[in-house]
Amino acid sequence: MINVLIANISHTETVKPLIEYNEKKVKKGEAERIFYNGFDSEASKESVISHFVVHTRESKRKDKNMHISLNFPVDDLKKIDNDLLTKISKDYLKELGFPEGHPLIIYRHFDSFQPHIHIVTPKIISKKTIINDSNLFLRSQKITRELEQKYELKEVSSLKNKIVSVPDNIFVDGVIEDTLDKRKRYSYAVDYILKHFHPTTMDEYNVQLNKVGLEVISNNYVDKNNEIKIGLKYKTKGISDLPLNSSALYSNPGQKKLDKVFLRNLKFRKKREGEIKDYIENRIFSKYNTLTHDIFIEEMNKIDIEVSFTLKNGIPAAYRFYDKREGLFIKPSDIARSLSYGNVKDKFSEKTVRDYKYHNATLVFVLEKKYKELYPEKTKENNPQHYIMFMALNGMIPDVKGGKLRFNHYLNKNPKDIEYSEPVKIQLNKIDFSEVSNLVHAKDYKSKVWKFQQYLRNDAKSTINKEDSKTESLTEKLNKAVDQLLTLFEKNQEVKTAVKGPKNKI
């Protein structure tokens, strides 16, 4: 299950740094106190610290104070108010084991687009008695899952490898008169881009900022040491409005910070480009001898890449990619020279022809699964002859090398060693290869394969008449049959991948 409400917990011996950190935010207008126990609303920072110190003075523990941050889904921003945050915080602390009336203070922070609160409270219940903190992480995780359901917090999908839609409350539009409100709105919007996108240059950053209605302006200035620096200002895109300096925003997204962000994002960009290259070469071009431009566009959409072709005299002469996850255009040759249109144009034609040489392993996998479904009482170990004849009737010709059995689909002409399936564990001495040979070398072998596959699909038209042969060749029909098997396998793999959540899904 995907976490919606996320809790982070830390422990300290002294409470002063925790209170000072949060009170500093309050003074700057980036946070507010929303609940407190043990002192009144007007209590000074010093009074709050003193109250906590008195409460824990008899304990010599190094971890007698707790600092908790609860982070909420941005999708719930509209319904989250101080009352709801207080209720959730109280329930969370109660389930952790804190008694009613225990000293605590809750701060709501506004320095990020994601709603979050900070709770400061002593772990000491009374005198030297401390709250049970064994298995704290697991207990906290269980509590937050229960609170998600109780308060119907929206479950947001993992943002990894997903197209991000900018929430309406993040987008900046029109003139914002109030400076503090502008500061908050700009800060949220900028932080949203830096969290969900991966710019590597200032130009890319500006393109992605446009998604939240902002743009960045750079200007050079001389600092007090007479050194030339680059200053950044943020403004609402497309209107004449007073910009804000980067230093005025909560996360201070100036040139120094962005340089670090761009450098860090280069690793992500290289990984993404590597995944695109691998997908094209090993998932598309390896599957087809030739393919139409439309099929290529359809395949690339599966990894959120939009393909556009430039025509010259009505014929495609170049192409480029648009990464829908990042909102950026990509030049294929920048990913790899091998992907320039001049190097791949021979893969395109008016007709799509699948390349089966790379699918022997796939076909064996699919057919073995079908074998188990059709003959649950049989196994290839106990019934090797029956198994191998079943494979042969499905177009898989057996071959023995080095005392091991492997398969090749009969449409693959002159296969290389690497193009055969992996060796199949089976007792060769129990196989009558003459029976197999008579089948695969028979003149009507193609017809037998087709008829058997029709039989497996329970097709009423289980025989091929001459009229059918005239309109569509037997080879074309066999190709379609194998296409269906491969398509079913690929869909099955996609479902499994979604459930297991692989490490490198693109």
Domain ranges of the chain: 6-151, 169-253, 265-354, 359-408
Q: Name the token pair of 245.
A: 């300096």
pLDDT value of residue 341: 95
The answer to whether the CB of 88 falls within 8 A of the CB of 71 is no
Strand partners, 36: 105
The answer to whether the CB of 312 falls within 8 A of the CB of 373 is no
pLDDT value of residue 356: 55
In order, the DSSP letters of 7-33 are EEEEEES-SHHHHHHHHHHHHTTSEEE
The answer to whether the CB of 154 falls within 8 A of the CB of 76 is yes
pLDDT value of residue 487: 63
User: 461 vs 85, 395, 406, 468, CA distance in Å?
Assistant: 66, 19, 32, 11
DSSP class of residue 248 equals: G
pLDDT value of residue 463: 40
179 Cβ partners below 8 Å, 6+ apart? none
pLDDT per residue over 162-200, tens digit each? 787 888 889 999 999 999 899 999 999 999 999 999 999
pLDDT value of residue 102: 92
Q: How far apart are CA 449 and CA 499, in angstroms?
A: 34
pLDDT per residue over 79-99, tens digit each? 889 999 999 999 999 999 999
pLDDT value of residue 455: 79
Could you tell me which of 20, 68, 76 has the C-alpha nearest to residue 48? 20
Q: Name the token pair of 237.
A: 């895109």
Q: How far apart are CA 132 and CA 134, in angstroms?
A: 6
The answer to whether the CB of 234 falls within 8 A of the CB of 210 is no
465 Cβ partners below 8 Å, 6+ apart? none
Strand partners, 109: 31, 116
CATH number for the domain formed by residue range(s) 6-151: 3.30.930.30
Strand partners, 119: 68, 106
Q: Show the low-confidence residues of the chain (pLDDT under 50).
A: 1-2, 156-160, 358, 459-471, 502-506
Strand partners, 35: 106
pLDDT value of residue 504: 43
pLDDT value of residue 505: 42
In order, the DSSP letters of 304-342 are TEEEEEEEETTEEEEEEEEETTTTEEE-HHHH-GGGSHH
